[in-house]
């Protein structure tokens, strides 16, 4: 009798587990854990590479006319001290056009070529013009109506002293087969940033999913250059506790023919602002705050200041 009862309990548990797996779309837990493991490794590789977010070492805003570049404290675009000359040259901003002019005798490279003067593209174009001197590189970014210079250093202390990433346990409970509810026409979301600018993003719809019988929704956007996936900015009840106060980000697949979308919070990760004060992170829209604890994905960075 005890054996029969034990077998019965096992069958019930198997059905429960099988039902949960079907709901999440996960049928092989080991394969799923391996998938998330691989995703975490790629996330770490992107973050720690030579031009990753840990190398971010400065941000300066440009004015019309001449903008001096160098490590001297009087320059407009400040570069890391001890890594670059006091004066490296100047960035000229004239009616929206950008040009860099190197100081005579100073080595500045574009890719592998020494340059003395050249026009610059910002990250609003397909690819910004990245200039370098030693381990330091810099390029122009556009945020709202402002143009600034982002500075990176391969030997930045934040990279050299990186403390690693920490995650919640991998759990298929947080992988959903959500539905896309399209907005017709698409909504325009005004997304503020940590530096006070506002970007306008097109929102084609909301992802709708259920957890414990309750329905939740998240507005999505499609980023320029990443048109093959949805970008999601979100916060939840772990924000400011186990995770970053402002929230986290993640990507999701585009819908299949039935409007189904894989939404996996095990792939939620931190904004660059967690690692550096020089990032220009967006602030998730208020409607994308989930009134639940999403105990999945990347936790707060231990080295955050």
- Nearest one of 251, 235, 248, 215 to 293, comparing CA atoms: 235
For tokens 């792939």, the residue is: 267
Residue 113 to residues 25, 99, 109, 212, Cα–Cα distance (Å) = 51, 16, 5, 59
Nearby residues of 148 by Cβ (< 8 Å), 6 or more positions away: 59, 60, 61, 62, 140, 141, 142
- Please report the beta strands in 103-255, taking only residues with DSSP state E, as ranges in sequence order: 109-110, 113-114, 117-119, 131-133, 136-143, 146-153, 175-192, 198-211, 214-220, 229-234, 248-253
In tens, the pLDDT along 115-155 reads 999 999 999 987 999 999 999 999 999 998 899 999 999 99
Looking at the chain, list the stretches that DSSP marks H as alpha helix, in order from N- to C-terminal side. Answer: 2-24, 29-48, 157-160
Predicted TM-score (pTM) above 0.85 = yes
Please answer whether residues 162 and 303 qualify as being in contact, where contact means their C-beta atoms are separated by less than 8 angstroms: yes
At the topology level, CATH places domain 53-153 in: Tumour Suppressor Smad4 (2.60.200)
Please choose, from the candidates 272, 265, 275, 276, the residue with its C-alpha nearest in 3D space to the C-alpha of residue 298. Answer: 265
pLDDT at 148: 97
What is d(CA 263, CA 246) in angstroms, rounded to the nearest whole number? 20
Question: For residue 57, which phi and psi values (nearest 5 degrees)?
Answer: -125, 5
Tell me the pLDDT tens digit for each residue of 70-112: 999 999 999 999 999 999 999 999 999 999 999 999 999 999 9
Buried b / exposed e along 227-236 (16+ C-beta atoms within 10 A): eeebebbbbb
Cβ-proximal residues to 301 (8 Å cutoff; 6+ apart), any chain:
163, 165, 166, 244, 270, 274, 275
Q: What is the DSSP letter of 265?
A: G
Calculate ∠ Cα 289-292-294, nearest 5°: 90
The pLDDT tens digits along the chain (305 residues) read: 333 343 333 333 333 333 333 467 888 999 999 999 999 999 999 999 999 999 999 999 999 999 999 999 999 999 999 999 999 999 999 999 999 999 999 999 999 999 999 999 999 987 999 999 999 999 999 998 899 999 999 999 999 999 999 999 999 999 999 999 999 999 999 999 998 989 999 999 999 999 999 999 999 999 887 889 999 999 999 999 999 999 999 999 999 999 999 999 999 999 999 999 999 999 999 999 999 999 999 999 998 86
The alpha-helical segments, DSSP class H, found in 51-181 are 157-160
- Where residue 82 falls (left for φ over 0; alpha for ψ -120 to 50; beta otherwise) is left
* Alpha-carbon dihedral angle through residues 156, 158, 163, 164, given to the nearest 10 degrees: -80
Instruction: Give CATH 2.60.200.20 domain extents, the chain.
Output: 53-153
Which secondary-structure segment (H or E) carries 270?
A: strand 269-270
């Amino acid at each position: 009798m005890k054996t029969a009862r034990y077998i019965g309990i096992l069958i019930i548990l198997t059905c429960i587990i099988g039902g949960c797996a079907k709901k999440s779309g996960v049928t092989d837990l080991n394969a799923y854990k391996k998938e998330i493991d691989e995703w975490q490794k790629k996330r770490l590789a992107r973050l720690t590479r030579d031009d990753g977010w840990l190398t971010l070492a400065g941000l300066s805003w440009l004015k019309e006319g001449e903008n001096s570049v160098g490590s001297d404290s009087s320059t407009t675009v400040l570069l890391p001290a001890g890594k670059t000359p006091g004066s490296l040259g100047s960035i000229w901003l004239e009616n929206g056009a950008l040009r860099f002019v190197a100081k005579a005798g100073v080595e500045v490279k574009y890719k592998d070529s020494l340059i003395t003067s050249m026009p610059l593209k910002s990250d609003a174009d397909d690819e910004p013009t990245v200039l370098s001197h030693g381990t330091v590189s810099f390029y122009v970014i556009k945020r709202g109506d402002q143009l600034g210079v982002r500075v990176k250093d391969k030997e930045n202390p934040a990279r050299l002293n990186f403390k690693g990433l920490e995650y919640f346990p991998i759990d298929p409970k947080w992988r959903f087969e959500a539905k896309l509810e399209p907005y017709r026409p698409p909504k325009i979301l005004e997304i503020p940033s940590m530096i006070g600018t506002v970007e306008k993003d097109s929102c084609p719809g909301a992802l709708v999913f259920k957890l414990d019988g309750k329905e939740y929704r998240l507005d999505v956007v499609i980023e320029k250059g990443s048109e093959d996936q949805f970008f999601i900015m979100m916060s939840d009840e772990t924000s400011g506790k186990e995770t970053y106060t402002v929230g986290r980000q993640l990507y999701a697949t585009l819908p299949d023919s039935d409007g189904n979308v894989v939404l996996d919070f095990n792939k939620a990760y931190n904004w660059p602002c967690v690692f550096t004060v020089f990032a220009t992170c967006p602030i998730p829209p208020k409607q994308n705050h989930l009134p639940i604890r999403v105990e999945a994905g990347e936790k707060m960075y231990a080295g955050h200041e």
